[in-house]
Structure 1
Amino acid sequence: MKKLRDYEIGIAKLSNKQHLYEFELDDSFFDLFGKDIILGGNLIAHVELDKTESMLTFHMDIKGHVRLTCDRSLDEFDYPIDVQSKFRIKYGDENVELDDDLWQITPNTQAINIAQHLYDYIGLAVPMKKLHPRFVEETDEDDDDQDILIYSSRNAAESDDEDDDDDEDVDPRWDALRNLN
């Protein structure tokens, strides 16, 4: 079973250049975070770390699929994930998150654990409405077949001006209804 330590990158001894890492994210990875949204999956995360004197820049490319529960039928299904993201870490006086994609760490920090970042980026790629692919196709067809209802209301002055020519063709019962204002 994988542990959070498996996703640590030791930065203290790294030289100032580009470093490449690859992480396999399987069911044991998702077990570390609970199975509230994502039940499991099989993904590969390619992480490119650019280290400089003042900053660390992580470029992540995550591809594969996750197992979700359909909101409509409660069936499990595989959902494809393809995420490219980037976050930065700069050196400062304290360990603090400055922004969603910018952290600050002290210069004596030995390692960075990226497990939570990987999980968060995968979680952001999961749609709010999780539908099994068979329902997605039905929803797309329903959207195309919807009729459009156009409602138009005119005031009495407009209808008198426009309907002067059409008075011969109008049923007298409609004339009685027009006077009911």
Structure 2
Amino acid sequence: MKSLRNYSIPFTGLALGKHHFDFDVKDDFFDEFDYSLVKKADLKCGVNLEKQETMVILDFHITGTIQATCDTCLAEYPQQVEIREQQIAKFSDEEITDDEEIITLSKNDHELMLAGLIYEYVNVAVPFVTSCGDVGNTQYCDKEMLDKLKSLSGGNEQIDNTDPRWDALKKIK
């Protein structure tokens, strides 16, 4: 978890106004999370922070590639991602429970931990169904694996595996 400390912004010393921060999100970042959908990545995360009197507005722009596995041929390929998200953090002594979109910052807080947010945004951006063909370059699809899957599926052949007990019941009609 120590490497995740690099993904924090100390906001107490920042002047009011806009500030920009850049983070590199690589494989070691995702190694810190158990059960992550993403294991390998090469991402750039830009965060525009606007500090106001009562709140902090964070605009995330994450671009790069994640290593995905094709659901058709099981080959690994680089999946391009571009993510734009916004997060609001309010200064308040009371916990805001009504709105899950707003982070509450107390007087004791002095930095924003962004690792959880970045992790969540990237994992949500992973396509539900991944395919090498979506990349636009079919060189990633494993032709040998596709041929093997086609041969194992049996093609159009129908195997007659009917249970003789069902044949006896059909005669009752």
TM-score normalised per structure 1 = 0.68
Question: What's 2:10 paired with?
Answer: 10
What is the CA–CA distance in structure 2 between the aligned matches of 1:52 and 1:95, rounded to whole Å? 19
Amino acid at match of 2:45: A
Question: What's 1:52 paired with?
Answer: 52
Question: Is 1:111 matched up with 2:111?
Answer: yes
**SS at 2:24's partner residue?**
strand
Amino acid at match of 1:40: K
Residue deviations 1:101-133 (CA, integer Å, cap 9, x gap): 311121331111101111111112111112222
Q: What is the percentage of aligned positions where both structures have the same residue?
A: 28
Shift of 1:66: 0.4
**SS at 2:67's partner residue?**
strand
What is the CA–CA distance in structure 2 between the aligned matches of 1:135 and 1:116, rounded to whole Å? 28
Shift of 1:137: 8.2
What is the CA–CA distance in structure 2 between the aligned matches of 1:4 and 1:134, rounded to whole Å? 32
Question: What's 1:141 paired with?
Answer: none
Q: Which runs of structure 1 show a deviation greater than 3 angstroms over 4 or more consecutive aligned residues?
A: 94-100, 134-138
What is the CA–CA distance in structure 1 between the aligned matches of 2:97 and 2:117, rounded to whole Å? 12
What is the CA–CA distance in structure 2 between the aligned matches of 1:104 and 1:77, rounded to whole Å? 39
The answer (yes or no) to whether the contact 1:93–1:106 under 8 Å persists in 2 is yes
What is the CA–CA distance in structure 1 between the aligned matches of 2:136 and 2:71, rounded to whole Å? 12
Amino acid at match of 1:92: S
Q: Compare CA radii of gyration and give the structure with the larger one.
A: 1
Distance 1:134 1:58, change over 3 A: closer
For structure 2, the residue ranges without an aligned partner over 5 or more in a row are 139-173
Question: What's 1:167 paired with?
Answer: none
Residue deviations 1:36-77 (CA, integer Å, cap 9, x gap): 411211010110000011000001111101001222332211
The answer (yes or no) to whether the contact 2:83–2:125 under 8 Å persists in 1 is yes
What is the CA–CA distance in structure 1 between the aligned matches of 2:97 and 2:136, rounded to whole Å? 38
RMSD: 2.4
TM-score normalised per structure 2 = 0.71
Amino acid at match of 1:69: T
The answer (yes or no) to whether the contact 1:86–1:101 under 8 Å persists in 2 is no
For structure 1, the residue ranges without an aligned partner over 5 or more in a row are 139-181
